[in-house]
Structure 1
């Protein structure tokens, strides 16, 4: 057999290199499964906004998609998810909006995937308040301590800082407030926004003033302050379901339900984008990791998008489990 011509060998080598180059370029420039921006729900609390930032970065740089965010409240965004006006809600707490979520799932237009993290809720007081009044241990005990939490707008009553106006947890807190028969002793105050709620809590805490308030976890605030969660009766599923219903006729006090947060997806979008659906299904964040990320957000007074980059740079061992190797390589290259 005659040896190959040096010229032919060179041409073959160039051809192989060119094929490899085109193959690499194709891998580096993925084609999005949908021909429009992927639309995310921008719910107005820290963990959701940070998650949206993480997910958008991966979807844009790993999967080659454009993205957009629609800002709104929980129930409004759930309705938008059913209509297909948004595709993804990064953080859904099914237990908090039990009736509305079940209805959405049964409609077939929405699905919940993955296990983002475990979330919780409660009524809190600062530890210094309980040290001053050690007999104040449960939410029911509040009836005897209204003078500690004087409402500046209605001084004859105490004030409980509930959910910000328009949030879905307002129904839950209002029904629990009624179930505990605190209406004659307290007002359930709805701050104008999550930022106003947080500012009121931090201001009181810094001044060592007594305050009682609703809050949720994981959040930077609960992690950064020394708080005591007030006791409630053991969890009762039927009682809790009624607490989440705005038409609950006879609310009964029960512990808040531990929430397995999931990713909400529009069903039509999920069918059209199986690769993205697999990504969202695998997405899960360990508790200490989300606590650290939100703590960094609080300490640095950063924006959610900056906290998303902090997470992606610090915890590649977490997010790389969510995506194929080629997607992870493209995302890493942008960090």
Structure 2
């Protein structure tokens, strides 16, 4: 009679069945994510947090950080996961961290990219501007408001790993006499400045990476750089590069890294995180939707989860996917 009464109270769902539907997290503490300050990372972190909460029964927290400090924190165990690590920007420190055995690469998200861009309307106005090496001849078309005698090149946000590569490439192309290398204080500052100039149809030249809302929503043209050379690129990543030489950016593998000790304690979570892969067009579409609707990362993640179920359900066992779908 007691069993029947409990079944009735639960709306006809047996107590054992309900318990089976409630996942038990492998960790006895919140999972710690590194919170990088660019959009794709912020959105993917919220996607993964929603899945681990509703699919695996795990709580989590996000610790704001930057790429290199996050890698050090991952080695120490202060972070469990760095969802999005760009290999080419962190090649040397990543190789050292991996050699320590304290971190692991567990999954490839997508093949990211980096380039120097101009808007298509600028390319149509300046048909002679095809290569990055042509820029000095067109300095007056990109006037720096603070140094009108020079053009302005929008580089990488201050403090980011890509700032070193852009600075060295700027030197390698001999642009110091004709352009200022403007390093915005934050990614948000950079994005706002570019979006504002684009809306006003101003000529702009800038570094950017993808997938991003900027590349997804603007009609852009990449400036040509000399063919990729591995040795030249390696020097460009070195803050002490003695003789920087220009070379194209290579394809940039973007992967997930975790603390090794965490990976040993949470094999089910690692199984999920290892399978996270996102097509570039889907990520660009998500970031464009986020930008157009002025969303924060969490509602953008919800949009991805609701509209891209054909993608993320492939990352999960069927029962876990069903729990996540039920929570949406």
Query: Same fold judged by TM-score > 0.5?
Result: yes
Render the CA deviation track for 1:175-216: whole Å, top value 9, x for unaligned: 111111111211111111111111111111111211111111
Residue 231 of structure 2 is aligned with which of 238, 255, 265? 238
Question: 2: CA distance between counterparts of 1:301 and 1:213?
Answer: 23
Q: Which residue of 1 aligns with 2:65?
A: 72
- Give the gaps of 5 or more residues in structure 2: none
Whether the 8 Å CA contact 1:44–1:71 is kept in 2: the answer is yes
Q: CA RMSD in A?
A: 2.0
Question: 2: CA distance between counterparts of 1:118 and 1:310?
Answer: 22
Whether the 8 Å CA contact 1:114–1:282 is kept in 2: the answer is yes
Q: Which residue of 1 aligns with 2:79?
A: 86
Whether the 8 Å CA contact 2:7–2:15 is kept in 1: the answer is no
1:241-320 equivalences in 2 (<5 Å):
241-320=234-313
Residue 18 of structure 2 is aligned with which of 13, 21, 25? 25
Residue 185 of structure 1 is aligned with which of 160, 178, 182? 178
1:52-63 equivalences in 2 (<5 Å):
52-63=45-56
Question: 2: CA distance between counterparts of 1:151 and 1:160?
Answer: 8
Q: Which residue of 2 aligns with 1:99?
A: 92
- Give the gaps of 5 or more residues in structure 1: 1-9
Question: 2: CA distance between counterparts of 1:127 and 1:12?
Answer: 70
Q: Which residue of 2 aligns with 1:157?
A: 150
Residues paired across the two proteins, number: 325
Going from structure 1 to structure 2, the CA distance change for 1:16 and 1:191 (only over 3 Å counts) comes to closer
Deviation at 1:11, TM superposition (A): 11
Going from structure 1 to structure 2, the CA distance change for 1:149 and 1:27 (only over 3 Å counts) comes to same
Which stretches of structure 1, 4 residues or longer, exceed 6 Å deviation after superposition? 10-18
Deviation at 1:77, TM superposition (A): 1.2
SS in 1 for 2:245: coil
Deviation at 1:35, TM superposition (A): 0.8
Residue 106 of structure 2 is aligned with which of 97, 104, 113? 113
SS in 2 for 1:145: helix
Question: 2: CA distance between counterparts of 1:219 and 1:251?
Answer: 28
Deviation at 1:252, TM superposition (A): 1.2
Question: 1: CA distance between counterparts of 2:299 and 2:2?
Answer: 49
Question: 1: CA distance between counterparts of 2:207 and 2:316?
Answer: 36
Going from structure 1 to structure 2, the CA distance change for 1:325 and 1:248 (only over 3 Å counts) comes to same
Normalising by structure 1, what TM-score? 0.92
Deviation at 1:155, TM superposition (A): 2.0
Q: Which residue of 2 aligns with 1:322?
A: 315
Residue 122 of structure 2 is aligned with which of 122, 129, 133? 129
Normalising by structure 2, what TM-score? 0.94
Question: 2: CA distance between counterparts of 1:192 and 1:260?
Answer: 26
Going from structure 1 to structure 2, the CA distance change for 1:22 and 1:105 (only over 3 Å counts) comes to same
